[in-house]
Structures are given as C-alpha cells and as structure tokens.
Amino acid sequence: MSLKLAGDEMSAFLDQVFPQVRGMFAIDRLDDDLLVMRLHANEQHLRPGGTVSGPAMFSLADVAAYVATMARIGPQALAVTTNCSIDFMRKPVAGADILAHAKVLKLGRALSVTDVLLYSDGQPEPVARATLTYSIPPDR
C-alpha cells in the first residue's frame, strides 16, 4: 500500500486535528512497510515507579493506528476507533520512551485493521500489543 502523506505532512495534520496532544507523540519512521511512533515519557503518563501507564500506552497505540491508516487514505479527521483489544505483557522500563510499531493488516472501504507492537525504547521484547479497528467515513 503506497502512502498519500509523508511523515512531516502527517505531523502537521496531527497537530491541527489533535492540538491537545501536541508534543506528546513523534513520528520516527513512516514508509510503506511500517510506522514507528514515539510516546515521550513524561510526568503526566507515569505511574508510581516511573513506568508509563496503561492508558498512555493505549493512547499511543490508538494514534499510531490512526496515523498508519491516514497515511494510506489521506487525511480524514472523522475516522473513529470502533474496537481495540490490547494485551499488556511486560512492565515498561522506567523513564524510557515507548515506541509503537504499527502495520495496517487490512484497508477496506469502511474499516481498517492495524496491528501495533509497543516497546520500551531500546528493548527487544514488546511491552504490549494491540489491534485497532477504525471506521472510515463513506464519503472519501
């Protein structure tokens, strides 16, 4: 699947539609094969012990699936998450950013399905995995 938006265009689009999370995420890589998104570990997302919280990891998986889908269909601010299943498998490393590796498994007319693996920056084993379905507005 070829891309309709490059990484810097996508970053600008995200800042525009989700101003309230500006600075929270960054796009490390965006190409045909893979999207890598970064969650900057900061006070707001940490649990006691300094590890990133489950809801912050959910946010990262959700935005990564959105970005991976938008990159393929073009900017559609109205696409919405309809389903997510997420497994939390390991404790994140304290203080480390979280990286999401997202792959679009299906891009249909009405739905996209994206798999996401989450890693503590620098670690080989994933801390979580998620699959997200986005509903895509019919009028694109």
Query: By the criterion CB under 8 A, which residues form the site for a second copy?
Result: 17-20, 43-44, 46-48, 54-55, 58-59, 62, 77, 80-91, 105-106, 108, 110-111, 113, 115, 117, 125-126, 129, 131, 133, 135
Compute and round to an integer the Cα radius of gyration of the chain. 14
Q: For residue 117, what are its two tokens? A: 């693996």
At position 66, the amino acid (one-letter code) is: Y
| Nearest CB to a second copy, comparing residues 49 and 122 | 49
CA dist list (Å): 110 to 73, 76, 131:
11, 12, 17
DSSP assignment letter at 47: P
Q: Please state the closest distance from residue 6 (CB atom) to a second copy, in A.
A: 24
Q: Please state the closest distance from residue 33 (CB atom) to a second copy, in A.
A: 14
